[in-house]
Structure 1
Amino acid sequence: MTKITDVRAKTPDELNSMLLDLRKEQFNLRFQRATGQLEAVSRIRAVRRDIARVKTILAERTRSAAKA
């Protein structure tokens, strides 16, 4: 689980690459769950929340850029 301060410190390019990595991990976790190989079930929730954090920060930055 990443902290919000760590996410806010990243550039938009880093956030986009982080989002891509998290989505790949989410896909892999869903695939593992479907095949019965998933051991850390709580990781699905953590990844989903990390994706939400990154998307929230990206949206905040686009809104602030639009105002300026």
Structure 2
Amino acid sequence: MKASEIRKMPPEERVRKLVELRMELVKLKMQSRVGTLTNTSRIRNIKRDIARILTVMREEALRKSSVEAVTREGTSEGSQAVENKQ
């Protein structure tokens, strides 16, 4: 799964996919411990997909908070300018 594909997903879909991948990772780790896992690289790929999803989610959270901070700064500066003129 590519980061560009993850960015196109709606947030609810990302969360659902994250939960799904974590459950699959638990199952694969269990198979690895028991000795029935045939494709060991699948664990590595799932871990990377989980990391990609978390990274995209974090990027969006930071982007959202920075936009809110800029918005708050703009309104507080504007209100201060009005107060200073009075």
Shift in Å at residue 67 of structure 1?
1.0
Residue equivalent to 1:19: 18
* Structure 2 CA distance for aligned equivalents of residues 3 and 60 of structure 1: 15
Shift in Å at residue 5 of structure 1?
1.3
TM-score of the two chains, using structure 2 as the length reference: 0.76
3-state DSSP class of the match of 1:54? helix
Shift in Å at residue 27 of structure 1?
0.2
3-state DSSP class of the match of 1:14? helix
Residue equivalent to 2:51: 52
Q: Name structure 1 gaps, 5 residues minimum.
A: none
The count of corresponding residues between Structure 1 and Structure 2 is 67
TM-score of the two chains, using structure 1 as the length reference: 0.95
Q: Which letter maps to 2:28?
A: L
3-state DSSP class of the match of 1:38? coil
3-state DSSP class of the match of 1:26? helix
Shift in Å at residue 3 of structure 1?
1.4
Shift in Å at residue 12 of structure 1?
1.1
1:31-50 equivalence runs, <5 A: 31-50=30-49
> Identity, % of aligned pairs?
34
Which structure shows the bigger proportion of residues in helix conformation? Answer: 2
Shift in Å at residue 24 of structure 1?
0.3
Q: Name structure 2 gaps, 5 residues minimum.
A: 68-86
* Structure 2 CA distance for aligned equivalents of residues 51 and 59 of structure 1: 12
CA deviations 1:21-41 (Å, max 9, x no partner) are 000010000000011010000
